[in-house]
Structure 1
Amino acid sequence: MTYKLDTIRLLIAHDSQDDAEQLMNALRNAGRATRAELVLGEDDLLRALKSGSWEMLLCRPAFGGCTLESVMAHLQRLGKTLPVIVLADHFDAGQLRGALALGARAMAPVADRELIMLLVDQQLDYVRMRKERTENEHALREAEKRLAVLMDQSRDAIAYVVDGMHIHANDTYVEMFGYASADDLAGVPVMDMVSAADHEKLKKLLRSRAQDESKTHELACRGVDTRGEEFDATFVFAPSTYDGEACTQIVIRSADVDESVLQEKLQAMSQVDQTTGLYNRLWFMERLEEAVAEVHKTGQMAGLLYLRLDEFEQMQGTVGMEGADEALMLVAGALRKRLGDQVPMARVGDEDFALLLPVQEREDAAPMAEQLRADIEALMPAVQGRTLHLTGSVGVAFVQEDSRNGQTVITRALDCCNKAQKHNSGKGNSVHIHDPMDDVAAGSSEAVALAIRQALEQNSFRLLYQPLMNLSDESDHFFEVFVHLPQKEGDDLKPEAFMPIAAEHGLAAKIDRWVTLHAIRAAMAEKTPLRLLINLSGYSLQDAELAAWIGKALKASKFDPSRLLFQISEGDANTFLKQAQAFAEQIAVLGCRFSISRFAGGINPFKLFEHVPVAMVKFDGSFTQELSKPESRTKFAELITQASNQGKEVLVGFVESAQQMQVLWTLGGVNYLQGFYLQAPGPKLQLSADE
C-alpha cells in the first residue's frame, strides 16, 4: 500500500493575513490542491497543532509575538514531525544555518514564490516517502508477527537451514528432536536429524537441491532424536527466506506427533501473567505496536511509563520467592486502583511493569508518573511477617509521529527507568522523563572531544580485530584493526562519529598513533606471526612526522614492517593527494605497504594509482550488497579484474551471507574476503576458530 497525498494540509504561521492569503492563492493557482489554515499567534498555533493533522508548516521567523524557536519547541513537545519551511525577509547563509539548527527543513525569501513552490514540492515528496516508509514498516512488522505466530503454533515441525546448518526452528521441531531450545539447535547439521541408513538418500536430495533450489523436494525417511531413538517422518524441503537471507525451509510431518498434546499446549497459551493477574509482555507489545500505528494515523500521542521496583533482589532475599510474589501482586493491585481497567498495563519483566497513557503533550505524563511513584512508596505492606518499604523508579518515553516501532519506544523508556534508578545516590525512587535534547547533548562536539581526551590519557579506546580470509593461503593471519570510543552509557562510538570531532580539536593524529602503537603491541604478544591492516584518517596525513614516528615505533617494537599495511579511504586520498603520495612513499622505504578503502566509489578510481603507490584496494561495501543484481555483479567483476591486472591485491569486505560468499568465490582476482558472515570484529586477535 502506498500513501497518496491528494490535498496538502498546510498550516501557515504568518504576521500578515493578506500576505498569507496571497500565498495560499498562489499555491492553489499553481495546481497544488491545498487545505490551509492561518495562525497569527502562539495560541492559534497550539490550538491548530492539537486539533488538526497537517503535512507541512510555512512559518515566518516571528509572528504575533511567537518566534521560530518557540514553534520548533512546541512541535517537539507535542510530538509533531511537520516539515517546516521558513519564510524569511532577508535570506542569507547565517539565517539558513540557524533555522536548520532549530529543526526546520528549508528556508526561502518570503517574496520568492517560485522558490517556495519548489520547496513545497520537495517537502511533499519527503512527506510521501515518510508515510510510505512508515506504512511499509508497519505492514512488514504485522506480516512478520503473523508468520511468527503461524510458525510457532503450527502442528508441523518447521526449521530454516543455510548451507545444511539449522538457523531457526519452532518449538514442535525442537521438541521432536529432543533439544532444549532453538538456540541449542543452531548450527546443527540436517544430516544429524536423519538415521544413518537414510544418509545416502538425503545426500542425493541435497545434491539435487544444489543444482536447483527453486524446487520443493520430499524425503520419506527415519528421523533420529538426541537420544538416538528413530521415528518415521517426511521431510519437505522448500526455498524460503529468514531475516532477509535466502535459505531452505524444512517441514517435517511425523507419524509420532500427538496432535491432542499440541492442541492442549496451544489452548494453555495465555496473555496473562500468572503471578499478578496483569497482562504479560507479549500482550503489551501488541498494544504498543497498535499505539504506534495510531499515532501515525491520527496523531494521538501516548506516554509509555516503565516502572521498576527498586532493590528487588534484596527484598526477594529477605522475604523469599513467595513473599516477593505477594509484593508484586500488591503493586499490581495499586496500579489497577489508580488507573482502572481502561489503561493498557502489564508486567513486562521480573519486577518491571509498563503502561500506556494517552497524552496531548509530553508534560501530561509527568503527574501520573510521579503519582505512581508515590503510590508505591506509600504501600508499606506486611509480607511474611515483615513490613516492606517498597519504592519504584519510573521511566517515561513517548509514542509519537517519529516512533519507528514499539521496541524502540520501550527500549527508550527502559533506559529512562535505568536513569531514574541512579537518582538519590543510586537508590532510585524517582522519575526520569525522556527529553530529545538529551540525545543531542550526548553526541555534542564538546562532550565527545572530552571523552576522546580522557580515552587518550587513560588508554581506554577499544580496539577490535576482524580477520581477512586469504583465499590462497590458509596460514596467513591477517587482521583489520578498528577503534571504538567507549561510552559510560550506551554503545561505543564508531570512528565515523568521533573522528571528525577529533580532527576539529587536533586529536585525529594522536588517535591514529595510539591505535598503531597498541595494535603492534597486541600483535607482538602473539606467538604466531600475523599481519595488520591499520586504518588512518585523512587528517593524520597532514602530520608530516607520522611516517618517521611509525619508523621509530617499528624499530622499538622490532615488529616486521612487511606485516603492516596502512589504509585510508579513497575520498581522503583524493582530498589529501600530495600528502597521501608522500606518506605512501615514506612508509614504503620503511618496508610497510599502503591500501585504499572504499575503493571505486568515485568516477575514475584507477587514476589514483598514477599518483600514489597502492599495494591493496578494499572495494566499497555497496558492491558486495549489490551482488544479487546481474548488472552490478558484472560491473564489479570488471573492476576487480582491472585492479588485479594492475598488480593490486583485492580485498572484498561486508560479506554478510552464504549467497554473497558463493558469488565472490567465483569471481577471479579476489585475494581476501572479510565480513560478519566469516567472523565479526572482536577484542582479541583470534587466530583460529578454536581460540
Structure 2
Amino acid sequence: MHSVNLLVTDRSPETAEHVNSLLRNSGIKIHVLFAKSSIEVKRALDADPPVLILYAKPEEADAPLTEVAELAAAFSVPVALYRGMDQPKKLASLLSETACFVINAEREDLLTDAVMRLITTSENERQQASQRQTLDELEHRYNLLLESARDAIAYVHEGLHVYANRAYLETLKITDDSELAGISLLEILKSEGTDLKKLLKGFGKGSFPSEPLEVQVTRPDGSEFEARLLFSPARFDGEDCTQMMLQRKDAANELAAELERMRSTDHLTQFHNRQAFADALENTMEEQSPDYVAAVLYIEPDGYEDLQDELDVASMDLLVSDLAALTRLNLDNDDLPARLNERGFAILARRPDSASLEALADKLLTAWRGHIIEIGDRAFSISCSIGLGKLGRLATNAPEVIAQARKAQAEAAENGDRFVVYRPQLTAVASIEGEQDWIERIKFALANQDFYSVQQTIVDLDGEGDQMVENTTFLRGEDNDHGPSEFLDAAARNDLAGNIDRYIIPGLLKTFAD
C-alpha cells in the first residue's frame, strides 16, 4: 500500500506523539507528522500531502486556522479541529471563521474511524488514478489503430455522422471530416427492399441487422459505388452510438493487396518487418551487380533502456514512430527501411561506391542528432549508433549480413553517435584460425576496394639508366593499414595473390598512362 501521512498542527509535538501511539495501537499504518507553524504546514503539503490535517491548539499567531485551511484547500486535504467539547464558545468562534470538520479529542474511536475511512478513500483514489491512466493509454492506442485502419469506419447517431476515420473519408473522397457534418445517411445511402429510416430508428432500441446490408452509396461529388454495411453498437465520447463499417464490393483485390502489405509491414512505423526485409535482402544478394555497392545499415537509439524507464508505453510508441519518420525522410526512394526489433531499424541501400554508403550513415547521424522530439510536455533529442555491413563474398545469406551490421553497431554504441563499417577481425597467422581470418579479410578487401598502392621513384645515384618505380600494396584496417609483409604470404598460400594483382595492376597502368 502507498505510504500515508497525517499532519498534526499544535504548539508542541505531544499531541502528534499521542495520535501516533493511538493509531499504531489500533493497527493503523500511518506516518504522523508535526507542524508548529503555517510555514511548516506548507512544507509538509509540498513534500507529500497528508490524508488529514488535525488542527489541535497551535499558537494562533504561528498557524491561524484560516491560513492552514487555505493551504489545505489548495491540495484538496481536509482539515479537522481536534479538541474537547468543554469550550463550545471557542469552538463556535473558530467554526465561524472557517468551515471544517470537528473530531472530539475525548473520543479516540472517532479519530481512528475517521483516519481509516480517509486511508481507504486515499487508496481508492490512487487506484482510480492509475486505472484512469491505463484507460487513457488504451484509448490513445485504440484511436491510433482506428485512425490508421484500412477499414472504412464511421460512428453514427440518429442517422448523422459523429466520427469517421481516414479510410472512410478517402472512400467518400472527402478531405475534411467537417464536410460530413449535417450529411444524413439517408442522403447518401440507397437500399433495395430495406426501409433505411426504420433501420436507423431501430439502432436506438438495440436492433441491428445480423447480415451485411447491400447499399448504393452516393458520394458528395455525385459519383456512386456499391457497398456492404455492417452495424454494431458502440460508444463515442461516453455516448451510445452505432459503429458502421463500409466495405466496397470491388474491394476484393484491394483487400488482397492490403493483407499482403499488412503481412510484410510493421504497423507502428509502416516499415518492412523483419521477415519481409530478409526476403528482400536475399533477392538483392542474388541479383547483385558490379554497377553498385549494397549494404545493410543497422540503427539503434543511444540510451534506449533509460528512455524505457522514463516513458510509458504510449510515449515509447510515439518515440519509435517519430524516429521512423525522421529516418525515412533522409533516405532515397529506392532505399528499403525495416523495423527489425523493438528498438532497431535496418536499411537496405545501394549506392555507386562505398563512400556514398558511408555518407548516408553520416547523414542519418546528423539528422538524429539535430532532431527535437516532443512528447507531451517533454522535448528532447537523441543520438544513434549505426553499423554498416556490406553485401559481398564474405556474406552468403541475409541473416549473416544483418548479423555483421548488428555487430558493427554494437561496436559503434560503445561510444555512441557514430557509425562503424563491419570488417573481419585480423589476427596473427600463427594458427589455422588466424590464417582463415586473413583469408576472409583479404576477400572482404577485394570486394570492398580496401586495397591501395603507393608508388616511389627509385633514383639512380649515378644519374644513368631508365627511371624505375617501386609499387607497394597496402590493406586498409580499422585502426591502421597493413603492409604486404602481413598479408601477402597468406594470400599466396591460398591463391589470392593473383586476385590482388588483378585488382591493383589496372590502376597502376592507368596511373602510368596519365
Band of TM-score, shorter chain: 0.3 to 0.5
Query: Max radius of gyration: which structure?
Result: 2
Alignment TM-score, normalising by the size of structure 1: 0.33
Alignment TM-score, normalising by the size of structure 2: 0.43
